[in-house]
Chains A and B, each alone.
Chain A
């Protein structure tokens, strides 16, 4: 196996339970170097928990099982000191609400400098210079002076830029951006997404973009994974999944995308609600909301099956339909 085909991060059967309630049911997912993966799904489907678990950032009461391989090294059960090197140094994460994600009583210099000292071994004067360079990079005007300001003296969009600068401070190989624009105004959202695209081009780092915004994901991501009720239900190259979604849940989400006018939309509502993880329905978790559900759907939980290279789906009907379509082509 060559280094480039070797995944950067590989989640294997990653599961999470809180107080005995399983909210993540064995996630399998790979991120290759430099690629962008979109992670979509309604609120509560386990997108954040997946990556918080991978980085050991969940509260202690969370029971995490499976494997999280970074270049083949399992991070679950790694020593805290090792994890501290990985967090921010190999895998960085930014969050939804930038205003509360920054410490209100510490200056930007302190917060940026902390990452620079930890992961780049910088000190004193060097920290100031590098912190200024990072603020310039993410487009904070008057960076030199603004370093001694506090988070409340910046707008939400600027705070998210600062979060991005902090994430870049450790030159990570992967940036996990957990709904980085959900809390921002529409115009600011576009700016932040542009910034992320620029930064990615310049650094070549991989990115996981967790988003409600399917339009954004379809534009920026190489691959997309759709999550529902703690499982990945469909995954594949963005172009394929958006052109021809297979899982009824993905079809519901994507079918509602505005066709060509390019205006972005949030996930439209599919009738019904996400099941309560304490009381999951039998079989396929989506069956109660699925227009096509049959009795077989409630008999067993469908597994994520690879129907073509890099194309996976967890729906007995979708898999069956693909197989039929295949056979028709073959016999035609």
Chain B
């Protein structure tokens, strides 16, 4: 188990390094930060000075090495746009993003999992079909469409809720609902199919043949097994706590990490982009490790080291 976790951690680090490298290449090759940040009015001298100050006059390979060494030292760099450490800029925005994504995650889990279980137990009924129909709608409708629809209904037509900004919790309702509904739909479908898979297993019939009442067969025998794949999905959702709000933050002009990322990319503000990528990747890696740990807890077949079947 320990060796397995170490292996996973090493793979995760490699992934992060690759993502960060890829972002560096794409951001640096796609436009010149000096031109983007200084704007069309800038004089040639200003541009040369800017390039020199930020090391942009070196070859891209040298820049990459310098920048990678800095990261290894724990130095995430300084924003070219406003001269502050990137980590500070990002850290400022994290609470606003979490204020959306954590309640949204609670909606996803709180509605999605019970709805999925419920649908699996009433398979083929009208209600099952209704839940699954909503679920399909929930994840085929892009979140900006859902977000804008909610704005149209609740802000423009009914005037109940504000359409953007961050003055108080009321502003958070629509973005949270927008994210929560789509995620709940995905989780409901996932939980339902995990439950149906488990309910078809012979050991469920064994439990019934033993005289275990159906409610206890569900709680004591089916759910502990269905939890194993469901945890994967929830873990993935936890992994997107930082990055999952880019679209919704843009739609609702919410000042979180997602909006910062959009602005930083458009300005080729490499340090900030990198810093966000690292925060996002760190969240994902952590949630993956937690999921792996939970697997060991939920599935005794993994605990004893004999890994049967892959995940």
Write the residues of chain A forming the contact surface with B, with a CB cutoff of 8 angstroms.
52, 55, 57, 80-81, 84-89, 92-93, 95, 97, 100-107, 114-115, 118-119, 150, 152-153, 163, 166, 169-170
Contact = CB atoms under 8 A, between A and B. Distances in A.
A167 B210 CA distance: 7
Chain B interface SS verdict (over half) = helix
A114 B209 CA distance: 12
B193 interface: no
B210 A87 contact: yes
B220 to A, nearest CB: 8
B225 interface: yes
B224 A105 contact: yes
A55 B225 contact: no
B59 interface: no
Contacts of A52: 205
B304 to A, nearest CB: 7
A233 B225 CA distance: 42
Interface of B: 201-203, 205-214, 220-221, 224-225, 228, 298-301, 304, 306, 308
A150 B201 contact: no
A22 B206 CA distance: 25
A101 B206 contact: yes
B210 A118 contact: yes
Given A150-B300, A152-B308, A153-B304, A104 B203 contact: yes
Given A85-B211, A101-B202, A104-B299, 11 more contacts: A57-B209, A80-B214, A81-B213, A87-B208, A88-B210, A97-B202, A104-B225, A114-B220, A150-B301, A150-B304, A152-B304
Contacts of A57: 205, 208-209
A154 B28 CA distance: 58
A92 B208 CA distance: 10
Contacts of B298: 105
Given A97-B202, A103-B203, A104-B225, A88 B304 contact: no
Nearest to B200: A59
Given A100-B202, A105-B299, A80 B211 contact: no
A56 to B, nearest CB: 8
A93 B206 CA distance: 8
A114 B212 contact: yes
Contacts of B221: 103, 106
B220, B298, B300, B301: most-surrounded residue (chain A CB, <10 A): B300
B201 A100 contact: yes
A226 to B, nearest CB: 25
A80 B304 contact: no
A95 B205 CA distance: 10
B21 to A, nearest CB: 41
Contacts of A119: 211
B210 A152 contact: no
Given A104-B301, A150-B301, A80 B213 contact: yes
